[in-house]
Structure 1
């Protein structure tokens, strides 16, 4: 074959191979012919992926929500490279997925976060064992014992904000994430080994690590590890993960040394006394590998920091946007927990803050910290009359679930804590509001998050009044594992 002929034949052969591959993929997935497509193109390998590759993180978020979830009422399908995935934001379908015993596995791209032996990203067989072992570390007895720690951390937050009273605007997220990290370190991980500078650095590196590893999901070329290692993102992610992992090793080393010098008390041995998260992990070192312990400590640091810290930053912004709501929350707090109270705040007092809870729920409705999750079915399941073979990815958008007009009304984009009054909540679908996911693989730390966030609200509002120049229409978001804005959570404070 001469060069001229080769130049003609090779491109045609390549196109023919691609066409044959596409047709084979379509034939393989013909079982889903009745499910509508979402996105730019109904063909694998093409427009959807190029649209995502050329977009910024903010554009990716808007593209996925505009062209995928928001336009489909129940179940849809789309191509992610050569993979057919199914998506939904309908409560019926979400409930069917999250409660199905064969839908507790996670897709392979959760491994991009390098924590695939921890509760968040582990496969079903690892997760089932770990969840059973770690559930007791978040019982009400343990959480109640954390309240004095929460109070001390919140008082430090109040003190840190004092120089900013009546000053220029500042980023609330910087302070709330540091406070949340301080809480998780001193409570569930039982350590005080980090300086303010170390904590601030750790928060930033966790944020960067999660952002890069999550955005890798939408770049099909970076699915190939050798290709990804050549990218700039790999170097940045590795740098942040090294610091993240170093902090985790530091915590583990300190706790292991403490446990060697502190034998179990008789009542702990005899009655299997509940232990905090870190102690329980180390106690289970015979049944958990070192990697499992490491990944679970890493997961707790990231989840505890981002869940409470991110939400409280959004809460500060919403308080500034809606002064009348802020005053209602403040009035309830000072009525139920007077500033003159000398005794420690109790779990019963936190539970009595019903309007404060409604306010936090509305923050979580509009800004769910985990906006999107994915599951993988381990056996054939049936959704909406379609039998889906094992191994397919099921994408769930809590962000769009919480904005369905058929559930929340025509003013779905407006901030209104009254949506969560008992009267308006009556008859609402049990899977219409999922701030901490749902089913057996929901968030293990949901009660911890609510208790810590209520405590932060108490201390902040008893001391300060919040203002902001932002409007709700200004809120924009980046694609990521956590719901982050592309700009700061700008607020100002004044003394009450």
Structure 2
């Protein structure tokens, strides 16, 4: 009798295992694939948003099975937290960006990431970032001056903002004044490389190197990377030569501040050893350049559109700036930054509504227990940051509205660690968060104390080019204060 009961129990376990809940399957998969392959990048982003909304309606987890690939979309905040805090392995999708940024940071495997993280923390700690404030102020003032050419005109300010932020970030990242080295070709090369990455996803045959290496996209990528790498290689050579002279006690003009590259070299290069090869150093530099300049320039553009669409918010920012930054237009100091409380709330609200990285992808390195499902090891997980940042259960019924005041009331800020997912919470959170917040706050302070901005955010159309970017409705009008 006992044997029979044991057999029945074992059979029950197998039965229950076979009946284990699986996430609902994404409907209209063929439509999604067709959109990815044939439609505009704006239509692609609309499908990404719809996919997030659909996943949320079905409980926060959906699944796509494509031959050998299981792809899970996650919008449930609790499950997003599980994925980001338990899984540090990036999805294979990130392999596509390796030709650009290498495998030392964004695309690094876990052992490489753990090796590099302490060095990155040294290079981006607060006392180093504080040395960048004069650079941030100098280029912000230059940006204000350049914007003066557009006063009274309704126009797209993207090129002016991007060029100035690029020069600012290049100096902070690589040291020395790089203005003579930065050209419009560099920004264009970055844009083209990002387009190539998206096209490789949109055209499945290009995903495989066998076909990609013989394509026109590969030739365009090579031309873009020649421009991008050229700047990084020149600056690495220069900074290493100066470092070796210092090691030999030779006279070298003292730099005003230590750039990101300076700090990395000083902590990894001795007279008889180097932790990184020149290519690995270039990988680190290119990671920081992409993460800092392109994302920050776009974030500032989103901020101007949000503020320009809400006169009440804009006047509150202006009043705060005039109270803290006296006389008007002077450089923003480290002491000023904590006092710009409302401006910080505006920045966070902008980044909540318009996260530059609207989705993130991970690979489950082991079986992962979510709230209602178990995800098998090896599965590809897509975390939908856009949906989490606008989750009405976390942020309230007005989650889709631009309300900076929510950040000033502790009762309105969700306790979930992933509610504000823009900087990628979890084991691989964004190491440049403090850097980005300092820079965006200083740049926006200079702009908004100098100009009144008029925009219409309701006309904004977005596209997904690896990063979230405005594609239409971004024209603004500025008037001098």
Q: Where on the TM-score scale, by shorter chain, does this alignment land: which range?
A: 0.7 to 0.9
In the alignment, the residues of structure 2 paired with residue 90 and residue 216 of structure 1 have an alpha-carbon distance, to the nearest angstrom, of 29
In the alignment, the residues of structure 1 paired with residue 179 and residue 248 of structure 2 have an alpha-carbon distance, to the nearest angstrom, of 26
Change beyond 3 A, Cα 1:423–1:68: closer
In the alignment, the residues of structure 1 paired with residue 105 and residue 19 of structure 2 have an alpha-carbon distance, to the nearest angstrom, of 33
**Conserved in 1, the CA contact under 8 Å of 2:459 and 2:472?**
no
Change beyond 3 A, Cα 1:349–1:68: closer
In the alignment, the residues of structure 2 paired with residue 310 and residue 296 of structure 1 have an alpha-carbon distance, to the nearest angstrom, of 21
Instruction: Give per-residue Cα distances to partners, 1:316-356, cap 9 Å, x unaligned.
Output: 111221122111111111101123586x5322311111110
Deviation, 1:81, is: 6.1
Aligned pair partner of 1:491 in 467, 476, 479: 476
Q: What is the number of equivalent residue pairs in this alignment?
A: 450
Instruction: Give per-residue Cα distances to partners, 1:293-321, cap 9 Å, x unaligned.
Output: 11111111111101211100111111221
Change beyond 3 A, Cα 1:31–1:444: farther
Q: Given the alignment of the two structures, is residue 125 of structure 1 paired with residue 108 of structure 2, yes or no?
A: no
Paired residue secondary structure (2:381): strand
Aligned pair partner of 1:74 in 56, 60, 65: 60
**Conserved in 1, the CA contact under 8 Å of 2:35 and 2:43?**
no
The match for 1:105 is 89
Please tell me the root mean square deviation across aligned C-alpha atoms, in Å. 2.5
Instruction: Give per-residue Cα distances to partners, 1:225-279, cap 9 Å, x unaligned.
Output: 12223443333222212211112112212222322333388xxxxxxxx964202
**Conserved in 1, the CA contact under 8 Å of 2:158 and 2:301?**
yes
Instruction: Give per-residue Cα distances to partners, 1:146-170, cap 9 Å, x unaligned.
Output: 111111111111111122222x222
Change beyond 3 A, Cα 1:276–1:236: same
Instruction: Give per-residue Cα distances to partners, 1:24-50, cap 9 Å, x unaligned.
Output: xxxxx9897521112414xxxx55433
Paired residue secondary structure (2:469): coil
Paired residue secondary structure (1:412): coil
In the alignment, the residues of structure 2 paired with residue 52 and residue 93 of structure 1 have an alpha-carbon distance, to the nearest angstrom, of 26
In the alignment, the residues of structure 2 paired with residue 488 and residue 235 of structure 1 have an alpha-carbon distance, to the nearest angstrom, of 32
Q: Given the alignment of the two structures, is residue 160 of structure 1 paired with residue 160 of structure 2, yes or no?
A: no
The match for 1:86 is 72
Moved over 6 A (4+): 29-32
Deviation, 1:90, is: 1.9
Unaligned 5+ residue runs, structure 2? 1-16, 250-256
Q: Given the alignment of the two structures, is residue 58 of structure 1 paired with residue 45 of structure 2, yes or no?
A: no
Change beyond 3 A, Cα 1:234–1:421: same
Aligned pair partner of 2:322 in 324, 330, 334: 334
Deviation, 1:454, is: 0.7
In the alignment, the residues of structure 1 paired with residue 190 and residue 18 of structure 2 have an alpha-carbon distance, to the nearest angstrom, of 41
Q: Given the alignment of the two structures, is residue 347 of structure 1 paired with residue 330 of structure 2, yes or no?
A: no
- Residues 209-288 of structure 1: matches in 2 within 5 Å? 209-263=193-247, 276-283=259-266, 284-285=268-269, 286-288=274-276
**Conserved in 2, the CA contact under 8 Å of 1:117 and 1:291?**
no
Deviation, 1:79, is: 3.5
Task: Give TM-score, length-normalised by structure 2.
Answer: 0.87
Instruction: Give per-residue Cα distances to partners, 1:158-200, cap 9 Å, x unaligned.
Output: 111122222x22222222222222222222321323338x332
Deviation, 1:68, is: 4.5
Q: Given the alignment of the two structures, is residue 314 of structure 1 paired with residue 312 of structure 2, yes or no?
A: no
Q: 391-400 or 207-216: which moved more?
A: 207-216
The match for 2:454 is 467
The match for 1:141 is 127
Change beyond 3 A, Cα 1:94–1:326: same
**Conserved in 2, the CA contact under 8 Å of 1:308 and 1:453?**
yes
**Conserved in 2, the CA contact under 8 Å of 1:76 and 1:88?**
yes
Change beyond 3 A, Cα 1:231–1:358: same
In the alignment, the residues of structure 2 paired with residue 195 and residue 84 of structure 1 have an alpha-carbon distance, to the nearest angstrom, of 48
Deviation, 1:488, is: 6.4
Change beyond 3 A, Cα 1:276–1:440: farther
Change beyond 3 A, Cα 1:428–1:450: same
Q: Given the alignment of the two structures, is residue 291 of structure 1 paired with residue 279 of structure 2, yes or no?
A: yes
**Conserved in 2, the CA contact under 8 Å of 1:39 and 1:68?**
no
Change beyond 3 A, Cα 1:52–1:139: same
Instruction: Give per-residue Cα distances to partners, 1:412-451, cap 9 Å, x unaligned.
Output: 3322112212244345423111221101211111001001
**Conserved in 1, the CA contact under 8 Å of 2:175 and 2:261?**
yes
**Conserved in 2, the CA contact under 8 Å of 1:150 and 1:452?**
yes
**Conserved in 2, the CA contact under 8 Å of 1:31 and 1:387?**
no
**Conserved in 2, the CA contact under 8 Å of 1:357 and 1:454?**
yes
In the alignment, the residues of structure 1 paired with residue 413 and residue 400 of structure 2 have an alpha-carbon distance, to the nearest angstrom, of 21
The match for 2:376 is 389
Q: Given the alignment of the two structures, is residue 422 of structure 1 paired with residue 422 of structure 2, yes or no?
A: no
Change beyond 3 A, Cα 1:30–1:260: farther
In the alignment, the residues of structure 2 paired with residue 452 and residue 353 of structure 1 have an alpha-carbon distance, to the nearest angstrom, of 13
**Conserved in 1, the CA contact under 8 Å of 2:305 and 2:476?**
yes
The match for 1:323 is 311
Change beyond 3 A, Cα 1:248–1:414: same
**Conserved in 2, the CA contact under 8 Å of 1:69 and 1:87?**
no
**Conserved in 1, the CA contact under 8 Å of 2:37 and 2:203?**
yes
Q: Given the alignment of the two structures, is residue 444 of structure 1 paired with residue 428 of structure 2, yes or no?
A: no
